[in-house]
Amino acid sequence: MNNIVAIVGRPNVGKSTFFNRLIQRREAIVDSVSGVTRDRNYGKSEWNGKEFSVIDTGGYIKGSDDVFEAEIRRQVELAIDEADVIIFVVDVEEGITPMDDEVAKLLRKVTKPVLLAVNKVDNSMREKDAVEFYNLGLGEYYTIAGMNGSGTGELLDALVELLPEAVAPDENAVALPRFAVVGRPNAGKSSFINALIGEDRFVVTDIAGTTRDAIDTTYNRFGFEFNLVDTAGIRRKAKVKEDLEFYSVMRSVRAIEHSDICILVIDATRGFEGQDQSIFWLAEKNRKGVVILVNKWDLVEKDTMTTRDYERKIREELQPFTDVPILFVSALTKQRLLKALETAVDVFENRKQRIATSKLNETMLPIIENNPPPALKGKYVKIKFCMQLPTPTPQFVFFCNLPQYVKDPYKRFLENKMREIYNFEGVPIDIYFRQK
């Protein structure tokens, strides 16, 4: 189970630069995901063999200076609630500001580990200036320079020491599919779950998940059996204003990483908004299966074109990953809820399907022969063989003479062909090119 690390601090101390450095460190080791990374504030990192998710709170704050203070306080409170470790970034150039004091005051009260990172320390003079930050009362600090990366190694060594050990899965436990119900606040996630579970609570058992908050409910009705990972019923509303984008993304991170399939519930009366998109790309980035439910469909004024137009609009926002089931449901009237479950189970099956190497070559090589990759600098790419990799999510490797010459549009062409032939609806797939 992935640990969550939150980067907090006031604006302009270099949180995002530090965040980008952590994410790139990971990208350098692992093939970066094709397509566009939409969410600039969430990523995965790895150090000394330990993986963790990083959330940069800075990218979520919008507004004037006077709005900042309340926003930052709220985000720090949320980070304290949700993250396993908090990195508090301050700026050596400006020294301790009143806002740093405010943040430190919140952080001094928590039992979770807090690492103090003094940024922009790129010479020995500034090393001396950093001593002032002992006054924040957070103990030892780490001096870093986000721009050139000096000092980040020591900070990361300390960070991974503090991360809880991953819990090994129970060998004897039957692995049921895990469906996470995610979405922005007030989209109707709780109503959807209550409508599914109904009053017959006896078919439900609550197992506390490996995380504090994502509670697994085993669902066993109508011939379906799976674990529901619910993000809806787990919120302490007291501290955080409902419409905060950061809030629903941070809440969703654990549930998404903890699941096989994400059922993204959106509010039909509001449309497919920025927050819904962030959650969608979060699921896509984690290579989870996705089903989109447009809830509260009973409240929308309809004419003959409504469903088609609505669906088209959503698909435009999903580009280039448009092969996703979209269902129009109502948790209130229970309209199409069983269909939603059936679809989620289908997507789960699609995600774990294996295609025999002989069959894959039989179907794909003729297509490649008729539509070879475009020549680059007079050199022709010849693809000889392909196979599916033994990974938990669908990944395919194509062996050829010049893998570096195969560009993204051709990868997308192959992906679309595979989606036409094999059913990968709702499932992100990865395609790699390697030298034979």
Any binding-site annotation on 11? yes
Between helix 65-82 and helix 98-108 the angle, nearest 10°, is 20
Residues 6 or more apart whose CB falls under 8 angstroms from that of 419 comprise 323, 425, 429
The Cα 181–Cα 188 span in angstroms is 10
Q: Is 378 exposed, middle or buried (0-12, 13-18, 19+ CB in 10 A)?
A: exposed
DSSP state of 147: T
Write the burial class of residue 394 (CB in 10 Å: 0-12 exposed, 13-18 middle, 19+ buried): buried
| Residue 97, annotated as binding a ligand | no
What residues form DSSP beta bridges with 89?
117
50 is known to lie in a ligand binding site = no
Is 20 annotated for ligand binding?
no
Query: C-alpha dihedral over 72, 274, 343, 283, to 10 degrees?
Result: -50
> Residue 148 annotated as binding?
no
241 is in an annotated binding site: no
Q: Is 151 within any annotated ligand binding site?
A: no
Euclidean distance between CA atoms 257 and 3, whole angstroms? 10
Instruction: Tell whether 122 is in a known binding site.
Output: yes
- Cβ atoms 398, 362 nearer than 8 A: no
d(CA 139, CA 158): 14
Q: Find out whether 189 is annotated in a ligand binding site.
A: yes
Does 175 appear as a known binding residue?
Answer: no
Ligand-binding annotation for 66, yes or no, is: no
Annotated binding-site residue? 59: yes
Q: What is the DSSP string of 75-121?
A: HHHHHHHH-SEEEEEEETTT---HHHHHHHHHHHT-SS-EEEEEE--
14 is in an annotated binding site: yes
Half-sphere exposure of 240 (CA within 13 A, CB side): 23
297 assigned to a ligand binding site? yes
In this structure, which amino acid lies at residue 235?
A: R
DSSP 209-224: -SSSS-EEEEEEETTE
Ligand-binding site membership of 60 (annotated): yes
373 belongs to an annotated ligand binding site? no
- The reply, when asked if residue 231 is annotated as ligand binding, is yes
Cα–Cα distance for residue pair 1/231, rounded to 1 Å: 16
* Token duo for residue 120: 């922009």
Ligand-binding site membership of 325 (annotated) = no
For residue 15, say whether it is annotated as part of any ligand binding site.
yes
Q: Do the annotations mark residue 370 as ligand-binding?
A: no
Is 12 marked within a binding site? yes
Determine the Cα–Cα distance for residues 39 and 359; give it in Å rounded to an integer.
Answer: 36
The response to whether 28 counts as a known ligand-binding position is no
Q: Please say whether the dihedral angle defined by the alpha carbons of residues 410, 415, 416 and 420, taken in this order, is positive or negative.
A: positive
Please indicate if the annotation marks 233 as binding a ligand. yes
Q: Is 2 annotated as a binding residue?
A: no
**232 and 154 Cβ atoms separated by less than 8 Å:** no
The response to whether 411 counts as a known ligand-binding position is no
Rounded Cα distance, 49 and 19, in Å: 18
Residue 57 known to bind ligand? yes
**Helices 408-421 & 357-370 angle (0-180, nearest 10):** 130
- Contact (Cβ atoms closer than 8 angstroms) between residue 363 and residue 421: yes
Which residues line the annotated binding site? 9-16, 56-60, 119-122, 183-190, 230-234, 295-298
Which residues line the annotated binding site for GTP? 9-16, 56-60, 119-122, 183-190, 230-234, 295-298
